[in-house]
Amino acid sequence: MFRFSLLLIVLIVLIISCQYRPSLPPDIPPLTICKITVTQNGEPLDGASVILHSVSEMETWRVSGVTNANGVAVLFTNGLFEGVPQGKYKITVSKAEQETDDIPPCPESGSHGYEEWMKKYENIPRSSNTYSLVEKQYSMFSVTPLEIDVSGKKVIEMKIDVGKKVREKL
């Protein structure tokens, strides 16, 4: 009987915790579900950050999302609340790639190969380069031509293409 009661309590806690969603702050305006599909040269762009920047200086909400394998980003306000407050926004899309030296990881001190690794790699400076994979005109707020006007309580779906594939050093 004790095991059944314990199992029942665990199931109730799991059900409640899976359904928990933080409540909206009282000062947040109504949110509109917004999905933006991002392509690059016609192909879905996976793993890109999509950020909406309010054109109103008074707006303080952070709105962003990350594209999936199909290039679709579902936007969240403050990272918690699905949807976008009504207003006009500029859109930036960015994706970066980091390249590091091909130096193998150092074995633990005293382990097999540690002395050899130290002799070979200890004094080699490590370098790391970061590259933007999206053209600057789409990843910088000051020059992006991408805009969206979020109004009403409907679902907004938008498709944008961020131009040709690039790999520009940052």
pLDDT tens-digit profile of 133-157?
A: 999 999 999 999 999 999 876 889 9
Both 86 and 128 in one domain: the answer is no
pLDDT at 29: 83
CA distance 121 to 93: 38
Domain assignment of residue 112, given as a range: 101-132
Instruction: Supply the pTM of this predicted model.
Output: 0.73
What band does 130 get if pLDDT is binned at 50, 70 and 90?
Answer: confident
Tokens 């109504």 correspond to 30
Give per-residue pLDDT as tens, 98-107: 776 677 777 7
pLDDT at 129: 81
Q: What is the mean pLDDT of the chain?
A: 84
- By mean pLDDT, which of 3-12, 51-60, 114-123, 126-135 is the weakest? 3-12
Both 87 and 55 in one domain: the answer is yes
What proportion of the chain, given as a percentage, has pLDDT over 90?
A: 49
Residue 13 has pLDDT above 60, yes or no: no
Both 120 and 44 in one domain: the answer is no
Domain total for the chain?
2
User: Is 68 a member of any domain?
Assistant: yes
CA distance 109 to 116: 11
CA distance 24 to 31: 10
Both 141 and 90 in one domain: the answer is yes
Both 144 and 63 in one domain: the answer is yes
pLDDT at 103: 74
Both 77 and 145 in one domain: the answer is yes
Phi, psi values for residue 127, rounded to 5°: -125, 150
